[in-house]
Structure 1
Amino acid sequence: MTNPGLGPVSFRVNQSRPGAAFQLDDLSKQIIEKLQQDGRRSYAGIGKAVGLSEAAVRQRVQRMVDAGVMQIVAVTDPMQLGFARQAMIGIRCTGDTTRVAEKLAAIESVDYVVLTAGSFDAICEVVCADDDDLLDLLNTQIRALPGVISTETLVYLKLVKQQYNWGTR
């Protein structure tokens, strides 16, 4: 879904707490799916679609947000906002990879960090104004972090698909 000036409006399930104890029933899953289709949909409209009152939907959404199960966000298109360079950076580390990931997450240009198994210990996504900004970020912030051995940068040429409507499965 697109909102002129903001880019796609979407919803993301918070994956920072795998195995969290929060249980989703079928109604909560339906609410999530409705929000994934349209993050601006009214609680009354969602309630009508799933068979609950507006207040019941509001309460369920608030509980899921408070529990960190989901967040409702406006997803912008960085290119439309003047950020000409996006990249995925694979990082090889020594020591405690969690500490490196926490340091990466604190960098303003980094919008996504995951710890991985395989060729890289961590992967992050960055949004930069231009190539000079990306080079500075790599040299002065990411490669300078204690524990970082090497990086491999995959520069985005064109965003072909990005969606957050994969449902609750």
Structure 2
Amino acid sequence: MTNPDGHELAPAPVPFRVNHSRPGAAFQLDELSKAIVEKLQQDGRRSYAGIGKAVGLSEAAVRQRVQRMVDAGVMQIVAVTDPMQLGFARQAMIGIRCTGDTTKLGEKLAAMDSVDYVVLTAGSFDIIVEVVCEDDDSLLELLNTQIRSLPGVISTETLVYLKLVKQQYNWGTR
């Protein structure tokens, strides 16, 4: 896809894939790749030619580096929305204590539309999920009929968000 100036745009958003092929192995970003990521974090629709000019590479070299990072599962290019602006007035983090296989339970939780984040943890909770709901009634329905009813769930603790103070995604280039 190209922009009105005829320059190639960054690829369309794709669902994020977690790369399990090499657990614990870090994908190394050199300074040029970090600079490309930073430019895309500022504006994910910025053209490859514009990024290339800013970081000192050709459009083709930028396209190749971006594709390599996307293919490796290191990065995705997405539109980040404000849930409140879209009618989702209730966000919460839910800590879940469970028995059995946490991986299988995590997969069931990840399949739920209202769940946008799932991590298997050590400590007080076995799994932590973040949810985005229309309102308190929707959150209660999600807790009672979907999450707490899953086999293996022992208990939940819900932390309701009152105000989002900071949310950034720029840690990838530190």
TM value normalised by structure 1: 0.86
Alignment of structure 1 residues 3-152 onto 2, 5 Å: 16-17=18-19, 18-20=23-25, 22-152=27-157
Q: Percent identity?
A: 88
Deviation larger for 107-116 or 19-28? 19-28
- Within 2, Cα distance between the matches of 1:22 and 1:166? 14
Per-residue CA deviation, residues 48-104 of structure 1 (Å, 9 max, x unaligned), is 121110111011111211221100111111110111111110001111111111111
- Within 2, Cα distance between the matches of 1:97 and 1:41? 40
Q: Which gives a bigger RCO, structure 1 or 2 (Cα 8 Å, sep 6+)?
A: 1
Which of 154, 160, 167 in structure 2 is aligned with 1:162?
Answer: 167
Structure 2: unaligned runs, 5 residues or longer: 1-12
More strand as a share of residues: 1
Query: What is the root-mean-square deviation in Å for CA atoms of aligned residues?
Result: 1.8
Q: Is the 8 A contact 1:37 1:165 kept in 2?
A: no
Following TM superposition, by how much is the alpha carbon of 1:139 offset from its aligned partner in structure 2, in angstroms? 0.6
Per-residue CA deviation, residues 111-149 of structure 1 (Å, 9 max, x unaligned), is 011111111111101011111111110011101111111
Following TM superposition, by how much is the alpha carbon of 1:30 offset from its aligned partner in structure 2, in angstroms? 1.6
TM value normalised by structure 2: 0.84
